[in-house]
Amino acid sequence: MARNSPGIDAQCRQIIEDASAGRFSPVYLLMGDEPYYPELVCGAIEKHCIPEEDRDFNETVCYGSDVSAEQVITAARRYPMMSERQLVVVREAQMMKDIEDLAVYCREPLESTVLVLLFRRAALDKRKSLYKEISKHGTVVDSPAIRDYAIADWITSYYSGRGLRIDPGAAALLGESAGTDLSAIAAETDKLLRNLPEGTREVHVEDIEKNVGISRQFSIFELTKELSCKNAPMALEIAARIGNSARFNMPMAVSALHTHFYRILKYAAAGAGRGPVPPDIKARALAGVNPYFYREYDTAVRNYPLPAAMSAVSLLCEYDWLGKGGGGQSAAPGELLRELVAKLLAL
């Protein structure tokens, strides 16, 4: 399975479609650092595998810390009672001490049993027998963590899959609010759609601000924009507001700023600021950036040419260390952010 969000999204949609149509693999291995997709697939299997009236006799749900491989195999080898199939779900399967012993069953799984091994923020060793047997005879969902720089693209794709279009600025703002927690993004989206007029097909920044409870005016998203154009008064005001917020997290703020300035650095290295940059080179230098934001980076690279961009990235690495308690510094996180922003503006 390719480790990228569009690929896993398509795979999981297909599994859910198959489950709703009554088509199942004999074994599912649902694992990875991001729990959203494994939980989504497991929920669909539990919903569609066994009719509700047959679940008392044909559905077994247990936890890895409470069962052995022998107990799981015994349950999986039972035949369904007055039903087409039975379901055995092992949640938090990474807690099973002898999980590799399930390879014996997965080598020849029963067609009348659907066995689900659901990992929680963990993965099975791909070099060992169990993974290889499930890969041959079942279905593996390996859900990678989404990087912060890729979250806006994931949100855009997720909304598209729900028949919605979201503005790039709105996707960036929602990503800033929810971080890389896909379940939180899905929950915020459900809340948003309940509050928008029926039939809404486009989501704008104003919708996110009003319904998700985050202000664009005082966000990291807006701070990077003001830093790009070196609007010192506004950048410093935003930094002060963000730093005084109860939810403020210095390492997360520095991470977002580092992503932004590292892109400026790559763009500057590609020759921006010294004449028009060919579209293909611009696209490579700004990989992961929606073209909607290209104009901002054109401005940023004029204000932070290559030496300044290099200094900015170095400065951000220093403040990442300080924000995590390095150097024994005692400044409050909000004070550190204001100091950092002032130094970035001075480059």
Q: What is the mean pLDDT of residues 261-289?
A: 82
CATH topology (fold) of 217-346:
Zinc Finger, Delta Prime; domain 3 (1.20.272)
Residue 31 bridge partners (DSSP): 142
148-214 in CATH: which number? 1.10.8.60
Task: Say which CATH class 5-143 falls into.
Answer: alpha beta
The predicted structure's pLDDT at residue 341: 95
The predicted structure's pLDDT at residue 170: 87
Instruction: Reply yes or no on whether the pLDDT at 306 is more than 90.
Output: yes
Domain-by-domain residue ranges, the chain? 5-143, 148-214, 217-346
Q: Please state, in angstroms and rounded to a whole number, the distance separating the CA atoms of residues 96 and 319.
A: 41
Q: Please state, in angstroms and rounded to a whole number, the distance separating the CA atoms of residues 139 and 254.
A: 39
> What amino acid is encoded at 143 in this protein?
S
Reported residue count of the chain is: 347
Q: Please state, in angstroms and rounded to a whole number, the distance separating the CA atoms of residues 20 and 18.
A: 5
Q: Tell me: the pLDDT tens digits for 21-69?
A: 999 999 999 999 999 999 999 999 999 999 999 999 999 999 999 999 9
Residues 134/107, Cβ–Cβ less than 8 Å? no
Q: Tell me: the pLDDT tens digits for 292-302?
A: 888 899 999 99
What does the block give as tokens for 259?
Answer: 């992503």
The predicted structure's pLDDT at residue 283: 83
Q: Shortest CA distance to 174 belongs to which of 214, 218, 223?
A: 214
pTM over 0.95: no
> 3-state DSSP call for residue 119?
coil
The predicted structure's pLDDT at residue 211: 81
Q: Please state, in angstroms and rounded to a whole number, the distance separating the CA atoms of residues 50 and 34.
A: 27
Q: What is the mean pLDDT of residues 157-175?
A: 87
The predicted structure's pLDDT at residue 49: 97
Residue 291 bridge partners (DSSP): none
Mean pLDDT, the chain, integer: 89
Largest separation between any pair of C-alpha atoms in the chain: 75
219 CB neighbour count, 10 Å cutoff: 21
CA distances from 142 to 3, 78, 327 (A): 8, 28, 39
With a pLDDT cut of 90, the percent of the chain lying above it is 58
What does the block give as tokens for 77?
Answer: 């080898």
What does the block give as tokens for 164?
Answer: 């919605």
